Amino acid sequence: MSSHVKGVFNHLDSLITAIDRLRKADFDDYTVLSPLPRHEIEEAIYDNEPSPVRWWTLTGALVGGTGGFTLASLTSAVWPMALPAGKPMISIPPFVVITFESTVLIAGLATLAAIIYHCRLPAMDLPIECEDPRYSSDRFGLVFHDLEGARKEEAIKLLHDSGAEEVSCADDEDDATELVHEEA
């Protein structure tokens, strides 16, 4: 029977230590919960690599800039105006404003979409073990999903050794056991 293991941390440093130990122990199915955004958590989860959101922003900027310039050029080509003195129909300087504005607009929308996607918002399908009001107040949490046997015991030991103030595990929602770890 699979189960979950939940650790509650009082300090950010303890949580970062636990995440580092998780990576070294090859755990991959876990959720980190925090009352506020902290760059230390992001760096620990992504192993000091930048967030993938930046690639969405770059893609949105390239699509927006190309689309804005194309829109302005095709509009000028399809509905030409009287062009005095042999000026070009598709002129770069006047189209820079439209290109810039569409670049910023589409890049911003792509960034918003990336944040929603990568943060899994809205969190309607959040497991019940992650819904602890302390995570919205002043505690950090780490929840392992679908652990069995030796991996479960290893996760409990890892949480205790990392400084979790409380560790609980349950096989289902009705059968929860709590293991309390006293800090020295």
Distance CA 51, CA 183 (A): 33
Cα–Cα distance for residue pair 142/178, rounded to 1 Å:
15
The structure's pTM equals 0.68
**Banded pLDDT at 184 (limits 50, 70, 90):** very low
Choice between 178 and 156, residue whose per-residue pLDDT is larger: 156
Q: Give the Cβ contact number of residue 32 at 10 Å.
A: 21
Q: Is the pLDDT of residue 181 over 60?
A: no
pLDDT digits (tens, 9 = 90+) for 121-143: 887 777 788 888 999 899 999 99
| Phi and psi based region of residue 147 (left: phi greater than 0; alpha: psi -120 to 50; beta: remaining) | beta
At residue 179 the predicted structure's pLDDT band, cuts being 50, 70 and 90, is low
Annotated domain spans of the chain: 3-51+124-180, 53-118
Weakest mean pLDDT among 24-33, 150-159, 173-182: 173-182
Q: 3-51+124-180: what CATH class?
A: alpha beta
- Closest to 144 measured CA to CA, from 5, 17, 8, 3: 5
